Amino acid sequence: MEHPYWSQVLSNPLPGRVGKPRIAGLTMVIDTGIPLTWMRDLLQMAAEHIDFWKFAFASASVYPPERVMDKITICQEYGVFAYPGGTSLEIAIAQGVWQAYLERLWAGGVRAVEVSDGTIDVPPRLRREVIRTAHQMGFTVLTEVGKKAPGHHLGVQEQARMVQADLNSGADYVLIEGRACGQNTEIYDREGNVREQEVQALAEVLGPLATRLIWEAPRFAQQVYYIRTFGNRVNLGNVRPRDVVALESLRRGLQSDTLRVALGLPEAPPAPPAGGREHGLGKSGDLGVGGASGWGAAGGLTLWTDGGSHRPGERRPPRRSSS
């Protein structure tokens, strides 16, 4: 362009952001029921920044079926994977119809699926069977590790074991449970502060496999923490539609919280108590972040590469059994 817009004069202070299709720096949006017009408007402006669009919990069953199809079609138009939350598949498993459920998802144009046991207990053998079946059908398979019940914690070693088992069974990525509220889960305390020791211990135990995690992080300060700790290619999920542009700005160093790091500026002092920021974590000014030292530690944990075969934009052809 001979005369660029004023916004195009700037380069990203944090380099390394890659375009779609990508295998790292993924963003999954959680949709709890926004209108079609809002969805289309957002994707028209920011589809390049969204990789997955999740219909929260089993909320798609509340919509008229034709409206669900409308949303799936809109996502297809803009190159975004739409899929129902893992609670839907948990219900299908509990009702003994999970195979038919997967078949109808595929027939309906859905190309990603989430396998979880956040509410029910799924035997490991059945979990592996569901993952392998979805993988063989050609789905991009996301699994989720963690329980939704408050105070129910699996521990780092058990989470790591489940992550490894899911990836070995054919999962493309593994979500770490953060819920839509971002509170009182494996990785967040009751106020929504990041359990930093658990998060970094899990990443260290998994090593390179940690690049296949998607951290559910619905809150602004949680997103800041992950980007400062693991770099801007970290995968984040349960992002509210209204926060997509703000998150992309964080990834590029276009917000103060990550611009300071990009420029090598010292950590900003905590804000004094106030009425509370919309995206805050309960304690005003508390980002739950280790500061600049957290970013420095990322050198041992940031393992993103542009290569690999797990690119969500390039799917395997469906493989069907003859039965």
Question: What digits encode the pLDDT tens for the residues 306-322?
Answer: 444 445 555 554 444 44
Q: Is residue 228 helix, strand or coil? A: helix
Q: How far is CA 141 from the centre of its chain?
A: 13
- How far apart CA 32 and CA 95 sit, in angstroms, is 24
For 238-248, what is the mean pLDDT?
Answer: 98
pLDDT of residue 308: 44
Backbone phi and psi for residue 194, each to the nearest 5 degrees, phi listed first: -70, 135
The pTM score is 0.84
**How do 112-115 and 27-31 pair as beta strands?**
unpaired
- How far apart CA 244 and CA 241 sit, in angstroms, is 6
> Which of 51-55, 134-138, 294-298 has the lowest average pLDDT?
294-298
Q: Which H or E run includes 144?
A: strand 140-145
For 20-38, what is the mean pLDDT?
Answer: 96
Task: Count other Cβ atoms within 10 Å, centred on residue 289.
Answer: 22
Strands, E assignment, 199-277: 213-216, 236-239
Q: Topology of 13-300 in CATH?
A: TIM Barrel (3.20.20)
**How do 52-55 and 27-31 pair as beta strands?**
parallel
- Residue ranges covered by each domain of the chain: 13-300
> What pLDDT band is residue 112 in, cutting at 50, 70 and 90?
very high
pLDDT of residue 304: 45
* Position with higher pLDDT, 63 vs 76: 76
Radius of gyration of the chain (CA): 19
- How far apart CA 53 and CA 82 sit, in angstroms, is 5
